[in-house]
């Protein structure tokens, strides 16, 4: 799964990365502890025109009567995304790219305490997760919302967690965004074993109020 991540790319760098037009209201500044319900930068494509825009991380199906009207859907499982009522329409027509500098997962020590790990690309490039999005409106409130698609972990990642985000390479972005025809389902597989690295970080990140670049520093 993916329940917390870091995003440190400047807005202009994100626009260049995706060759997209940035919205004026993107999240400002680096965020080393992006949490569910935070606004995140998301790349979409409509008729071949790419845009980077803010979305609420936490997918809201149209039938939710309130923002807390059901489970918080931050992830969508690749194995069931095409059948689940919450996601199946978005999986066909509203796919997106969610950039990240890295993400966090947790293991437990012998006493049950949660030890955080920071996971990032081994080549130093930004991670780009497969995502889906949905507009939601109720009683005067409206949100554009998203979820990260997850799959079974590859061999290295399985030492930390049995699930991982679907990581897309740049050559696959047009297919995921619907710019290159059909067949996006074949992209929902684990990243190659050499794609990611990870290291232990301080338990400070266990708090959703923690902030700062020290959160991703390797634990000595």
40, burial (CB in 10 Å: exposed 0-12, middle 13-18, buried 19+): buried
Quote the CA–CA distance of 196 and 104 in Å, as a whole number. Answer: 12
Q: What domains appear along the chain, each with residue ranges and CATH number?
A: 5-216 (3.90.1680.10)
Quote the CA–CA distance of 105 and 103 in Å, as a whole number. Answer: 7
Q: Give the three-state DSSP class for 214.
A: helix
Q: Give the three-state DSSP class for 103.
A: strand
* Tokens, residue 101: 């500098």
Residue 7 reports pLDDT greater than 80:
yes
Q: Using one digit for the tens of pLDDT, what is the confidence trace for 13-57?
A: 999 999 999 999 999 899 999 999 999 999 999 988 999 999 999
pLDDT at 159: 94
pLDDT at 48: 83
Q: Using one digit for the tens of pLDDT, what is the confidence trace for 96-109?
A: 999 999 999 999 99
Q: What is the mean pLDDT of the chain?
A: 96
211, burial (CB in 10 Å: exposed 0-12, middle 13-18, buried 19+): middle
Q: Using one digit for the tens of pLDDT, what is the confidence trace for 125-152?
A: 999 999 999 999 998 899 999 999 999 9
DSSP state, residue 52? E
């Amino acid at each position: 799964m993916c329940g917390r991540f870091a995003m440190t790319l400047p807005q202009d760098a994100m626009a260049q990365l995706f060759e997209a037009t940035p919205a004026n209201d993107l999240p400002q500044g680096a965020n080393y502890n992006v949490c569910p319900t935070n606004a995140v930068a998301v790349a979409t494509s409509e008729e071949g025109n790419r845009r980077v825009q803010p979305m609420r991380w936490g997918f809201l199906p149209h039938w939710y009567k309130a923002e807390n009207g059901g489970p918080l859907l931050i992830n969508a499982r690749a194995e069931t995304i095409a059948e689940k009522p919450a996601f199946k329409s978005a999986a066909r027509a509203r796919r997106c790219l969610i950039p990240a500098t890295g993400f966090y997962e947790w293991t437990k020590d012998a006493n049950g305490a949660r030890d955080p790990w920071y996971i990032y690309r081994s080549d130093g490039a930004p991670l780009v997760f497969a995502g889906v999005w949905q507009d939601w409106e109720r009683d005067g409130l409206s949100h554009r919302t998203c979820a990260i698609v997850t799959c079974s972990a590859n061999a290295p990642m399985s030492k930390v967690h049995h699930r991982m985000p679907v990581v897309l390479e740049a050559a696959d972005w047009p297919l995921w965004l619907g710019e290159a025809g059909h067949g996006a389902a074949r992209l929902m597989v684990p990243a190659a074993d050499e794609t990611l690295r990870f290291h232990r970080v301080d338990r400070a990140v266990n708090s959703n109020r923690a902030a700062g670049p020290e959160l991703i520093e390797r634990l000595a």
